[in-house]
Amino acid sequence: MIPGGGSYLDGLNDIQRQAVTNTEGPVLVVAGPGSGKTRVLTYRIAHIIEKGAAPWQILALTFTNKAAREMKERIEKVVGARANSVWAGTFHSIFARILRVEADKIGYPSNFTIYDSDDTKSLLSTIVKEMNLDKSVYNINTIRSRISSAKSNLITPRLYAENDELKTQDRMAKMPLVHEIYGKYTARCKRAGAMDFDDLLYRLYELLQSNPDNVIEKYRNKFKYVLVDEFQDTNHLQYSIVRKLVNYDKSLRNICVVGDDAQSIYAFRGATIQNILDFEEDFKKYNIKVFKLEQNYRSTEHIVQAANEVILNNRRQIQKKIWSDKGQGNKIKVIKAMTDNEEGKRVADTILEQKNRFHLGNSDIAILYRTNAQSRIFEEYLRRYNIHYRVFGGLSFYQRKEVKDMIAYLRLVVNQNDEEALRRVINFPKRGIGKTTIEKLSKIADATNQTMWECLPAVPASTRAKNSMGEFRKMIMSAKQRVDTANAYELATYVAKRSGLIDLMKADTSIEGMGRLENINALLDGINAFVEEDNLIDTESIPDKSLASYLQNIALLTDFDDKNNNGDFVTLMSVHSAKGLEFKSIYVVGLEENLFPSAMALDSKDGLDEERRLFYVAVTRAEQFLTLSFANSRYRFGKMRFNQASRFLEEIPPIHIESTGYIRSKSPANQAHQGARIVGNFKKPRTAQSSRLMVDPSTFKPNAPDEIQVGMKILHMKFGEGKVLSIDGGKDNRVATIFFQGVDNPERRIMLRFAKLQILN
DNA sequence: GTTGGTATCTGTGGA
DNA sequence: AGATACCAAC
């Protein structure tokens, strides 16, 4: 393909093309929702390759594995298999890969363990316990987030201890010793050869900062082109690393960041829009180019305009006009329900109706909620209606107990100093090593600055416990000896048997027990697939099929990364995880004060703005249909709570909202009484004709749905007289095809359960 | 050390 | 409501 004349450039609009072809020097792309951002990114990379750069000189950082995978697939379509050598991945996975190579330079083993948030929490709770602190005061999650944000802002335990502001905050929260916990936590992680998610970023920064053996040179020379997706969601630490890689003396500064300030939804974990402003400032003198993608190719106008109006309520934003030429489309439908249960039913009803009426497939539809706990009721009704669905973001496969147990064994084989893994399996299956022994072990380890594993032979304990620990040690060692000769799959199978896990599970013949065994087998299959899969990322490096590499890989996977995500199902997920996705029909549910916006966000303007951006993200996922719902009451924390409708509903101008179903009122209290009876009818875009009533309501007497039969002449409120041509579907789901005279599109498919039809003969 | 039952706590989002 | 921590009895 000839650069500049390639066919892949033809399908781009002017601005997109400029963003793709201006490959040299710093570029900021401000990309509104549905503006073809991924296209621009992938074509840009393809273009860079077409112009002669080697794929492995390109670094593309994303937030999710999914985004990375999608990008690679799309690059591959343009440039072929070379795409596999592009360094495209999440911040965490790319950095882990680099750290694996450079680990020794910062005092880590290359087979370091990655602690997930459970490991982090469990370690923190051990530390809090050991310090004899009250854990009802020293809330683990609070501590975790304090430490996380410290790392994200390049604050070491030492700097933390010297920071008056942070310490005052801690004192006010009645936990003055957070800095000490942070210090201990960091030391324990290091001793265990473990990095938590933040460390994957922080330790890389540290490496580039201290720069032993001028290691930074290697990566600066290697990565000639750097791209960052979802730049609005990067935190200070992430940008600091990027800056280290591209902003130095002789740098070509081929850096492209893509983002949308209006879609920044991760401030709570340290992301800052400041990065976009800083970026412009940092690269101003290097002829930075800014491109704004403002045309939305995804949604119809009512949706786009409603989103625009809502986001106007936020302060501070980059000026842009998002527009669509897809026509007005459908107005937004609002469902109000009395209870959370009714909300579930009404949403499911509407989905059913929409499927029949507009021939939508399940996969065209998504239900988005603020918190994962909301999924249950929708699941119930979808199941009842026999609509296939899939819930994302719950417990991922790798978080299941039996899978974690198995993985803990593998982690221990790879890295004996991994304390969280050791704690998890030292007495599972039960081998008589109890709490007191483990506590003793932990104390001695801490006192002698060794790991628990190292203290294992020396800890005073009962003969039985001693023997057990000896056996345990032997087992891990025997597996460890095979690390070099056996591949990851063989090794894992060996461990599964030798540890007694398999036998333990086989002994349990309950349904759940068999499920657990299945999961272990699925895990083993997964390891096998990993061994056989050809995952060359870099032509320079040999594929790494070691167990350590596998473990580091899966530590960064989430629920979304399961491969079998194709099929015709309705998608249920949190709004956060829906970012980047699009569906023909979107349901945003639970639009109530204290839920969406979340109660935690209500006390600050910043928090509220972020909630509003989150709502903006939710709304802009919709291509054609947008349905918003809320319930006046819902069960939370085991108690019934009453909430008013979300303020975001009020922020949508009424002209974008379908007139039925939702009576707008300044007094939400009144709505409760009016709302319950109003049944949702999903309407096509209204033409002048179809909105006119054909029948006098006072004389109209609808018959029961099951009385309607093929061949009957019937009367419909809006379409007038019609003849029933056929009926399909059974029981509650009967859909009639009816011919109405004098209506455009005279053949209508009507769901009998909802339609009011009067039999005429 | 292990088991099972009760008390207590928690409760946004995700790599 | 559900998960987890804690405690008493075996």
Cβ A401 to strand C below 7 Å = no
Q: Which nucleotide is nearest to A148 (CA to C1')?
A: B15
Cβ A10 to strand C below 7 Å = no
Contacts with A195 (C-beta within 8 Å, 6 or more apart), sequence order:
A96, A99, A108, A112, A113, A114, A115, A189, A203
Q: Which nucleotide is nearest to A395 (CA to C1')?
A: B14
Catalytic residues of A: 37-38, 229-230, 263, 621
Distance A264 CA to B2 C1' (A): 50
Task: Count CA atoms closer than 13 A to A36's CA, side-chain side.
Answer: 22
Distance A137 CA to B8 C1' (A): 14
Residue A30 · residue A259 · CB < 8 Å: yes
Quick one: pLDDT at residue A729?
65
Nucleotides of chain B touched by protein CB (<7 A): 1-3, 8-15
Cβ A638 to strand C below 7 Å = yes
Residue A660 · residue A678 · CB < 8 Å: yes
Q: Which nucleotide is nearest to A435 (CA to C1')?
A: B1
Distance A134 CA to C5 C1' (A): 13
Report the alpha-carbon distance of residue A433 to residue A452 in Å, rounded. Answer: 13
Cβ A637 to strand C below 7 Å = yes
Residue A698 · residue A716 · CB < 8 Å: no
Q: Which nucleotide is nearest to A434 (CA to C1')?
A: B1
Report the alpha-carbon distance of residue A198 to residue A203 in Å, rounded. Answer: 8
DSSP H helix total and E strand total for chain A: 29, 20
What tens digit of pLDDT does each residue of A563-616 get? 556 789 999 999 998 989 999 999 999 999 989 998 888 878 888 999 999 999
Question: Which of the residues in chain A have pLDDT under 50?
Answer: 1-5, 538-540, 661-694
Distance A574 CA to B10 C1' (A): 20
Helix (H) or strand (E) holding A388: none
- Among residues A414, A422, A483, the alpha carbon closest in space to that of A451 is found at A422
| DSSP state at residue A722 | E
* Burial class of A544 by CB neighbour count within 10 A (0 to 12, 13 to 18, 19+): middle
Distance A507 CA to B5 C1' (A): 25
Quick one: pLDDT at residue A428?
83
Other Cβ atoms less than 10 A from the Cβ of A45: the count is: 28
- Overall pTM surpassing 0.85 (yes/no): no
Instruction: Taking each helix axis as running N to C, give the angle between helix A435-448 and helix A117-130, from 0 to 180 degrees, rounded to the nearest 10.
Output: 80
Residue A147 · residue A123 · CB < 8 Å: no
Residues constituting chain A:
761
Phi and psi at residue A640, to the nearest 5°: -75, 130
Q: Are strands A58-62 and A225-228 parallel, antiparallel or unpaired?
A: parallel
Report the alpha-carbon distance of residue A506 to residue A99 in Å, rounded. Answer: 39
Report the alpha-carbon distance of residue A455 to residue A446 in Å, rounded. Answer: 10
Quick one: pLDDT at residue A347?
94
| DSSP state at residue A685 | P
* Closest alpha carbon to C1' of B11, residue: A637
Q: Return the exposure string of A79-111: e unless at least 16 CB atoms fall within 10 Å of the residue's CB, then b.
A: beebbbbbbbbbbbbbbbbbbbebbeebebeeb
Cβ A635 to strand C below 7 Å = yes
Report the alpha-carbon distance of residue A397 to residue A74 in Å, rounded. Answer: 27
The β-bridge partners of A292 are A30
